[in-house]
Each structure stands twice: as structure tokens, then as C-alpha cells.
Structure 1
Amino acid sequence: MCRECSDDIELIKQLNSNYHDKTLKRGKVRKNTFQILNTNIKIDSWKFNEWDYGKSETLVSQARGLFTLNDEKIIIRGYDKFFNVDELPITRWQNLVESTRGPYYLTLKENGCIIFISGLEDGTIVVCSKHSTGERDDVNRNHALYGQKMLENQLNSKNIDIKNFAKYLYENNLTAVAELCDDEFEEHVLEYSKKRSGLYLHGLNMNQVNFMTLSMEKVHEFSKMFGFKEIEFTVIDDINHLQQILTDCSKTGTYDGREAEGFVIRCKNLQDEDFFFKYKFEEPYLMYRSWREVTKEIISGKPIEELKISKHKYQTLKYIAFIMPILSSNPDLKEKYLNNHGIIDLRNQFLNHYGKKGFEVANYEDKDFDMELALSSLNLTSVSQNTITKYIIVPVATIGCGKTTIAISLTKLFPHWSHIQNDNIPNPVKDKFIRGALELLENSDCCIMDRNNHQFRERKQIFEDFNKLNKGKYNLKFICLNFFPEDKDKIKSKLWEITYKRVSARGNNHQSIKAGEKGMNDVANIMKGFIGRFQNVDPTRQPDSLFNLIIDMEWDETENTNLKNLYKIITQIKQSFPEIIPEIPSDEAIHNSFQDALSYEPNFSKIVKSSSSKSNRNKKQQPIYFSIGIKNPDLIISKIENLLSHNTSNEDIVNLYQLLKETDRIQKEFHVTLTHRNDKNVNIFNDYVENYFLKDINEILKANEGGNLRGRTFKLTKPLTPFTLILKKLCGDGKLLCIECDINQLKLGDDENKKLWMNKYNHITVGTLNNGVAPFLSNRVLRNLNDFHDKSCFSIDWNELDSERIINFEDLELLVNF
């Protein structure tokens, strides 16, 4: 027996062993058997979990695309999985410099779907997609069949018999690796006209265990011989020169004037083995892909305000405004778009209307559209050129810095400005602050939001509430008065000294902090709380990056500090927004307005309690939610990976799980929320607090008296009877992954008819794509999937007879979260 045949048999034995080993946690393999088109011959496809690639000790093969015949021979062999620059330690530039050698073949990465072509000894042609071949009734679009049709057409055009072609591949032990690019069959992200459509040959791999591929020169010879489209390539000897070329091309996302997804670089490692890595362009490729997904979400009925857009917000806003009327008037286009047709034409219509190329749009935003960023993130509705622009001034301060003095001075100088004070709004405030500002903007050009806004969450709330309540009525621009631009931790003692002195001097001359009535001890506690919680403005992150203008204030012990700040504010707003300050007022007017502001006396009192007060502390010590906890998080991970390893019906789920795992976005702990204090039906929550677990909660509070329970979780006593969790399906929407589950036999009280949980669909949130995707949105994903059959959501069901879907009582615990 030849050595290659022996190696093939040994590999297939290992693959079969891993396939049958149900205890295997890493290195699992899925096996599917397919029948070659127009024959009775069956071949096996071997598929690995994406997250296992790159770990040599985990997988028996790194091949991405592997088919075998009769458990004895490899007949299709894809590339070893290769990675993007910086994706793994081995593809970091320094490691590439040290562990690879030239020449470096720089090949253009075509944007289609991969097709493998090989042959059998009798001249049978074998054409496969990444993991399947032949007729299938479980897919809407069969890539392997379409690829074979294209192959037959190109061979016919050169008068080549397909059997002879198949024998040539078999005799040379080759797999031809091509990219199927045809927009009439399926559009991806980049455009392929009819003239450019076809099979782009980019590799000739040896059908053997160890990865070996022929040179690009031989690939080109083969392409000419058999009518394949040729992949462009350039040979570069020096890796530093290579890096410079890649960097230059990435600035425009183009190569030789043509938009591209990126490059694949082929070279050798120090062991003289073939080694590939890739360099993918971020733009405009990622922007195009984002537009595609946003469009599909809109067509599927997702409300505009619920779209999550992390980048290119202003451009995407304009894109949405442009496509909405087109989609509304063309129902056929919607259906085509969801089936991956019309994507590129719709995008090109927008770019032509906009008058720019894709990379210009992507790059132009970062340089010139910062002033519009707030608009795009606040209101995802089409914005008319005639929309009225209004201005919001947001101080970021603490008690005693002079924000009210400055606000009153400005409104005296500019009668068409308004001023709303949070301290003048009776509790509960909720969104009255923002509603009041919008009412004032009816008759004013600018409103000053007089509140400390000293934490990120408060600034974020301002943007979110304006987004919700403004509804596109005004084009809003936000100005930040940054009273303490220096690092708080470095100036804390000086900040305390200055503000404490000012508050002491003003006595009761404030709506909520009345030093004369409260005594300075109480006032000091309140002030220290604000300073301790103060978070400096950070224009590099949201929400502070949404400000259109940030003005850094000066601060010191002198009496005229805020008079200087008043001048600074007027000057900088005049420079940035002359429409609201056409002329700078005279020195006399500025001084008079400032003196009037100093003599201001409030006519409204608001009670603010010291953070050290007992009532406030007790309020904080109340439970937030009750849940069922899974004692061992690895149990959930194991069940998910076992489900994925035996189910190939939904690659969206597999890819999402892999992405969450690679980016460390899988939850560290898993639970099922039973009831939350903010639930609409408060009776369920109250039953937990006042009935089922009153004794537990009192014991927790007593044992932790004086301590802060916020963010802590405690185990509760066992329920009346054992219960289980039944896993139903793994669900996602591209941004969030969760498990829908049933709770079986949970009993807490005597009344068996009482509801014990609030959610319509109980669930475990597995992970979210980023911090902007809240875990509670699992509720929406499950409603969209189960109630509305939303096509943007996807799922894999656990088999009803599968014992894997049951989580037993001994693996569960009841928890209370404070």
C-alpha cells in the first residue's frame, strides 16, 4: 500500500473515532454522507467546529473542506484554515517576519463562495461546496450544483470532455479550488458583472493528509488550459515591502482601482511547508455588509429605532432615508433582497445619488461628519434639509461649580435661549427633564440642561431620552460645558476645598442643597457623594463622543473664574455655531448679566437626602430580581457545543457562537430570570419578596447589615419540590444568542395556580455581540422568532427525545440578586 493511502486511512480512522466519541468536548467532527450527482457513489464530508481551528492539539486535521471515499481515500482537500493578520499570535506581524519566508504571493481575495472540484478513477466529476455535494432538499440554493453547471459550460466552450478533465484531476491527485462569483445566482458584498462572473481558480491542492498546494504559476497555467477565470497575483520577496503594499491598499479598500475584500498571501514557513494568511480590508467592505444587514432588518419589519448601528452612523442614516421610499414602492424588491438579489444595485443607486465612491463615503465620515454624529445616533429617521436645528447645552459638573450662575447669565444675554433646572422638577423626575426642555425649545433656539450630569449613565440618558422624545422634529446639536477637564483623582482635594467653600457661603440659596437648614455635615456627605461618583468627560467613547462641541472650563479659587468661563463659552459657541450668537455682547452686558445671576434666589425647594441616610441605604438593599442559576456554566457550554456538533442546518448559529467565543462575549454565569422588580406584573415579584423568600431576605439583610449588597447574589432555600429545566432551542439574531427553555415542576407556595415567572418565553442568555446589546433583549428575539416568524432570527431545536436537553435539579439553584 502506498504511504499516501496509508496516511489517508489512518486519518479517516481518527475522524470516525472522534465522530463516534460523544464525550469529546474539543475537536468534535461532524460527518455527513452525500451522493455524487448522477451516480450511486457516496462520499463523506467532515466538518469541524470553526472555533477549534488554529489549535494543532485539538483537531486531527486543519482542512476546511474535506471529503473521503470508502473510508480509504481523500478525494477533496481544501486549504488548511488560515487566519487574518493579528487574528492569532502566529499571524501577528512580528511572528510572520520571524517564522515565514518569501517569495510572498499576494493574491486577490475574490468575494463569492468556495467550490471544490476533483475526479474519480472512472472519470466521475466531483463538485462540492464547502461541506456538501449532489442533490439536496434542505437548501434553497445549491452551490455545488450551480458550480458544476458553470464548470460544464466553461469546459464545453473549450471543447474539453468533462470525463477527461475528471481523470486528469484524479491522476494528478488534485483538488481544484475555485471561487464561484455570479450575481445572477447569488450576490455577496462586492459586484460581479455578467462579464466578470465565473469560477475563479485560486488553488490546486494535493489530495493528501498534510497540506500541500501548487504554485500560483501552475494555477494560472491550469486556468488557461481549462477555461477558469484567473486570480490576479503579485510576487513580493520582502515582507516589509509586502506590509507597505497592504497598508496602502487598505486606505481605499481597492486594488488597481477595483474594490476588493482583501488579499490572501501564500508563502512558506521555516519548515518549508505551504503557509497562508490573509489581509482583509475593513472598508468599504464592512460598511457595505452593514448596509445589507440593516436593509434586511428593515424589510423584515424591525422598527427603525431598534436598529443597532455601531459605525458609519451618519452615512447609514442617509442610506436608510434614501432606500425607504424605494422599498415601500417595490414589494418585489423586498422579496428579492431577502433572497440575496438586488443588494448591489440598491447600494449603487445610493452611491450614485450621493456622488461618491464607497471608500470615500467610509473615510469621509470620520474626517468631516463628527458634527452630525449625534443626529445619526439620536434619530434614525429620514432628515429633511428643512429640519430646524436646535441646541442643547449640557454641563458636566458637581455641586458648587457655578453651572446655574452661568446658565442664568447666558439666558439674560440671549433672550432666545432657555434654561431648565432639574432641581425645579418635583420627584419623580423620570423623563420630565427632557420633556420640559423640548417644550422650551418650541419658543427658543437653545436650552441649557441645568443638572450635574456627572456620570456617563446620566449623559447617556440625555441622548437616549432626546432620541425617544424628539422623534426627528429637530436636528439637535449638543454642547458640553466640561467644568472639570482635569483627571478627577488628581484634583479631588482641591475640587472639594473650592466647592465646599462656595456652598458654605451661599447657605440656603439653592433649591436642594441648603447648608443653613441641613447643617454642613449633611451637605458635606451629599457633596462627597457627587465628587466620588464624578466621571470625567471622555470624548473618545460614548456617550461623550456624541457631543458636537466640548468646552473645557477653567476653575480656581478666584471670584472671577466663572466670569472668565462665561466669556469662553460665548466665544467658542460663536466660533462653532454663529447662527445662535450672531454678535458677541458688550463687556458691560456680560458683566451685568453675571452680577444679576449672582444675586439669584430660588423660589422652589426640593428634598435631597444624604447618601449616608438610613432610609436611602435600606432602599438600596432591596432585591432586584430572582432567578434560577446553573451551578456549573460549563454544563451549558457543553450542551450547546454538543447540539452544534450534531446539527448542520443553521450555520448562522454556529458562526455567531464562534464569534461570541472568540471575542470572549459568552456569559461567565448562566441563569433564567423568574421575576424582576421592574416587571409590569409586580404581584409576582412581591410574592417572592413578601411570601416565598421573606425569611431568606431578612436573614441576608441581617447578616450583611451596614454592608453594600448592590451587585451581589445569594443562594435561597430549596423549593418545595425538585424541578428541572428543559432546553427547547438555541436562538439568535446575529447580535445575541440565547436558549429558550421550559421550567418543569417548580413549586414555591401552596397555591399551584399562581404564576411563578413573568417572561412569556423563559430563557438563558448565552452571550451578546457587544455591550450595546442588553441581555434582556433575549425576550425580543424569542417574541420575534415565535410570534412573528422574523426571518432575521434563527434557531436550532433540541430533539424532544434527547436527554441532553434536560438540566436536573442537582445542577440548579434558586438565587436572589441585589
Structure 2
Amino acid sequence: MSNTFATPKELVEELCRLRDLKVGIFGEKKPTIRSVSFAVPGTDYELTSWRVWEQAYRINVSDSKKTYDGVTGLKRRLPTCARGLFTYMDPRTKEQKIAIRGYDKFFNIDEIPLTTWNSLREHTKGPYELTVKENGCIIFISALSNGELIITSKHSFGAVEGQSVSHALAGERWLEDHLKKVGKSKKELAQELLKRQATAVAELCDDDFEEHILPYRGDRRGLYLHGLNMNIPEFTTASSEDVSAFAKVWGFLKTDSFYIHKFEDMKHFLEETAKTGRLNNRSVEGFVVRCHSTAQAGKRNSTNDFFFKYKFEEPYGMFRQWREVTKMLIHDKPLNYAKYKKITNEYVDFCRKKFQEKPELKALYLKNKGIISLREEFLLLSKLDAMTISVESSNEKPYTLLVPIATIGCGKTTVAKILEKLFNWPVVQNDNIPSGKGGPKKFARAIVNEFQNGHPIVFADRNNHIPNMRSALRSDVSAELEGVRYVALPFVQNLSTRSFVQERVISRGDRHQSIKVSEGVEKVNSILDMFYKQYKPFDPELFSHDEGYDDVIELDPHVGSLENARLIVDYMQQHIPDSITNYPSEDEFQRALEFAVNDYVPTYTKIMGESSLKKQERNSNEIQYFGAFIPSDKVKAILKDVIRSKGISWDDQFSSYTLQDSFHVTMIHRSQITLGPEMADLWQQYLNQLKKKRSNVIDHVSFTLRSLVWDGRVMCFKVDIDSKSMWFGKTGNPQLHITLGTTSPCIKPFESNLMLERLRTGKASQDEPEIHTIDVEPKVDITGTLQFLPKE
């Protein structure tokens, strides 16, 4: 999923532009695009190897805010997703050409939202080509326009300083050997690849040159051909049958491949094979699956080729850890490893003794020699089976952390206190931790202390309503303690939940560490509003921060805290039976509820004032935008009246739209600071007003609703700001509006900006939806509270 370029010239021009600007496409501080040039010996050709910041591939296929321009709302894309791209200018024609074209970056199962099983089931179609994932280093083979054959590694060509034999040169030696066996020459291969305008993609597997994870010895060494890619900007690759036939003619080792036509059959095969890590009695690291994707349909010249990989976690995850730990040991670095702790400790003890006996093994190991033999000797002496111990070790999770995901008033503390009363599971309350620097890490430290004090189950009593908060909690705890099972407890959040919990919070009075109704209902509502605006649902497919949780128990505030506690108890009894020796009786449940509701009283008051909440709010680096927030019930009532006044039926015209939970007019967005000093000054004016206030609300701003606008994707009210307002003429958005809803959760609300711009200019491409408008008559005025929204 990259920008589409019709010719290599267009692609190279864009790559050069981005490289020379040293720009971070997704807002990163480092340049996204870099290049290195190589002279081709004996010719006047020069190869340019293009490199993309590795993390950018993942951001590029995500739905992260980083992938959208904060002002225009347009999607940012990498110019190419190729991993391994070499270009050159033909000295004779001065034409830019692609010399080497690697695969588009592809991802492992569950590595990104697009490669979850549910997503793959939805957007891919068979047949599915399963290709054995050989375990070596990638080699590219192609030809220049003068007929010169070139062999490269992913980013390098020819000799490499500091290496006796580079990967590219080792690949060239093996290529010469393969060609000799079938009576072919490098010149003939160059002519064939030039005729095809293709790059041959192979895996160099040779333990005599460099060891990886799996052994390649004897006649299993060499170049395994697994791809023929067209040398064009768009990723287009040959079928496995064509690759296999090419390998036979030109002497390459063939990569095993086969077809499975149905998705569920493919999924079942991969999951079953993963249990043994073997195919046809041979250890394999996994498979690359080639198929077609409807997610890319409509792209110019797209063949919809789509790859994903299924890497076997066991025992290869353990083997990779051992390899890295061994290098740490040799370099005398602190040994840090999160998984397979017990068996890895034994392996480290073995390595220490071995290196004392034979110190020369260290230097060889650092040259990637002896990796496999050292591992195999340890397993042989230990009389252990690698698959069995890795699976057993990966399941070592003696601790369980219950992580609620909620807003204030959902009953999470009541649930926690019920469980504490029944089973003595500690409840670590974030509200009991004083405000100040390092609060999140102190919270994590308090959790770890409870685990280390002998408690196998702990309840992390905090809202955890923001994805990076959930991710940071997991990271902070795991950094200090391994073997923790993370169980997410998302509480249902919808419009009825909001009014329900609001009533609950107000009726609770001052029985809360940080929210005191005696200080005023308006302040309570302000705090609740802040949490609702920040809240993002738990969704591992949508938010990468939510990946890594072991299980999910969905809870509902409406059913009551006792019923939610029962759901957790049932889960624990099923998945961790040792944690609940005796299932509580009904009387015990009721007594625990009585304790949680009536007997438990907070003993610590956390000030949600200038020292904490306001301090956080006033940190300008944490502010995403300033907006005028308008009561949702009022907006919906006006929308209903406008539609009714024109005799339009909601069901007939707008049934596909889902309205937003809250509504606002964006006044200025943080991304606009970079547009120039005028916008930077305007942003500062908003910050200055914020500093003068002692509450969440900066001001009240009035607007006039002008028209209802929609295009089948997004719907909004176009508005004008009151000319008498101090904020008149002080907005960063020339198209002031209230986004009302979209027809899909995949559609971003800021598409309203694009729609209104098309409406203003009258410019639209043929494939863009038609825009409809209704004037709001008679005139309707509406007032919003000017506030800020923090970064997520």
C-alpha cells in the first residue's frame, strides 16, 4: 500500500525529493528515505540502493493518526513498500530504471491489523500458495541494460568493508556453482532476466558461510529460488509454478510450495503444522502465504498480489533468544530475557562452562559459526526435546494482572473490592498514588510489589481508557517481572452507559478518592467529559497498543458489579483453576458485595486540581487540538428538525450513517503550528487563554448553523462563528463545521474537511461521491464550550 507511480522515473524522482529533504513522512525525527550508491566495476553504471526506515512500513499500513495529514486529512503513503530496491540511470538513454525489485514488506500473522485471521478471512481470496520459509539471507539477481548480471543482498552490492566475504559475493559464488551444473552462463541468465524485466529472489542458506536458526549442510546448501518480481514500481510477482520451472532450468535449489484453496483449510493446516514445526519430517521455520487481496482493489496497475507469513513461534522463538543471549554473554553484557527463563538459565550455565573450556568458540560464534552445534550439544546433554521445553516454557505465566478498561463510575473498584474480599487478591489503586513525576511507573511498581509479595493475582484499579496507557502498563510491569498474564476487562461504553454512570457518580457523593460531588456537579461533569473524550475502546485490531493481552473478559456496568465479578471468577476457574480452590457460595458473594458497597471507604484523597489534572492539561505538548464542544442532545435535536423540515426520511436517506457520541467544532489543530509563524502565534493565543483559566472550560463560543452537508461517507453541519466573538477570525480551520457521523468506522471524521473543500471549489474527480446540501432555515444559533483535547 504505497503511492502509485506509473514509471520508474516518477518513483525515483519522489524518492530523491524525500531523501534530499530529509523528511520524516509520518512525523518521525529521522529521515524516512535514505540511499547508498555503488559503482558497478568495469562499467559506467552506478546503482542506488534505497532504504526505508523499518518502522515506517508498519505505520504505512496502519490506521494511525500519523498516516493522515493533520490539516488536509489526506492519507500519507510511502513512495514504495519494497524491501530491497536498486535503481540506476542508463548512461546511454539517461532513463531511470529499476535494477533490483524486492518484495513489498509483508507481515506475520497478528503483527498488524491487516494480518489478523479475521481480517485475512475478510479481505483475501484463494487459492493460497504456501511456500516454505527457508532460513537464510535474501539475495537478488538481475541484469542491467548493457547485459551485465548483478547480484546484491538486501541493501548492498559487491565487497563490504570488514567482511571477508559479503553476502552478495557469497551469493554470486553459489550462483556460479548452480549455473555450472546445468551448463548455463551468467551472460545467458542476464539475457533471460533482461528479457523478462525481472529480479530473481533467492535465499542463501549455507552453514559454512553463515548459520541462522535451522541447519543447512551438505547438499542442502545453496540458493533457494522463491521469487521472480517484475522490475516496475508496483509489486508484481510470478506464481510459484513459474518460479519452480525457472529454478529447474537455471540450476537453483527449489523452494517447496503447494496450494490450499479454502481459507479455513489453510488456517487449519498452518496451526496444526505449528504444533510440530515440521513438514515432511523436516524442521521448517514457517510459511510465506501468497494470495490476492481485495483490500488493494482499484489501485492503478495493481495485480492485488498479497503476502503474509506464518512463522512458527516454537521452538524457533526460543532458539533466537538463545542466539541473542549468547552474544550478550560473549560481550559481557547484562543478560535480559523475558521468556523461557528457566531453560535459558540452564543454557547460559552450559555456555559459560563451554566457553571456559574452549574460548576460541566465542570468536566463531560472533561470526555466526557454531550457533547450531552449541545449541544441539546443550539439548543432547540435557536430554531435552526442543519443542516440548519451548512450549512448556512459553506457558510459564505464574502471575495474572486484571486490567479494567473503563471510564469513571463503571464500577471497576467495586468489582475489585468484591474479588479482594472473596480471594484476598490485592487491589492496586492508581488514585492512592500521589500525583507527580513518574506516576505510571510508580503504579506499575506497586503492582510488581504485590506479585513479589506472594500474590499471584492483582487488580490494576485504574481507568486505562487510552491505548498507550494500556500498552505502557504492560511494558512497565513486564520490564520488572516476567511471566505475567494480562487479562483485559473492557466495560461496555455507549450513550446509555454515560448517563447511567453519571447518575451513579453523583449519587455516590464524596466516596471517591479524586471526585467529590460536594465541590460542585459542574466540576464532576467536566471531569467525566474529559475522560469520555479521551476514551478509546479496547481493540487489538485497531490499536497496536492493545496487542499483547492474553485474554479479554467483557463487562457491562448495567448488569451490576456483582454479576461482573462472577464473570471474572468463572474465567479464573476455567483458565487458572489453582487460583480458585473453592467457588464462593451465594452468601459469600452477597457479603463481598456488602463490603465493597457499604464497608469500604477510600482513605486517600487525590487532588484533581492544579497539582495534577490542571498540570497535565496545561502541558502544551500534550494538547492535540482546541475545539468548541456542543451538547450532543442539542445537535441531534437540530439535525432531526432540519431533516423533518425538508420532508426527508432518516431511514430512506441516512440509515447508513452512525452518529458520533460527541460533537465539536475544531478551532485549531496542533499540526497547523508548522504552517508558519501566524498559525504558531494563534496556537499560543489559545495556550495563553488556557493558562488564565482555573477550569477545563476556556470560554463559550457561539456559531450559526448554515447547512447540512453529506456525500455518502461523511455528514456535517457547516457553521459560521459569531462575528462578535473574541475568537472570530482566530481559527485555523477555514471550513468550520460539526462532523455528525460517517457510514463506516474506517472513515475518519476529518473527511468533512475534504468534502467541504470540494464543495467550495467545485473540483471533484469522477470516483468521488456526489455532495448533497440542505440549508438550515430558519437560522439556528448554537453555543459550545471551548476546551482542548489531549493527545492519545
TM-score normalized by structure 1? Answer: 0.48
Higher alpha-carbon Rg: 1
TM-score normalized by structure 2? Answer: 0.49
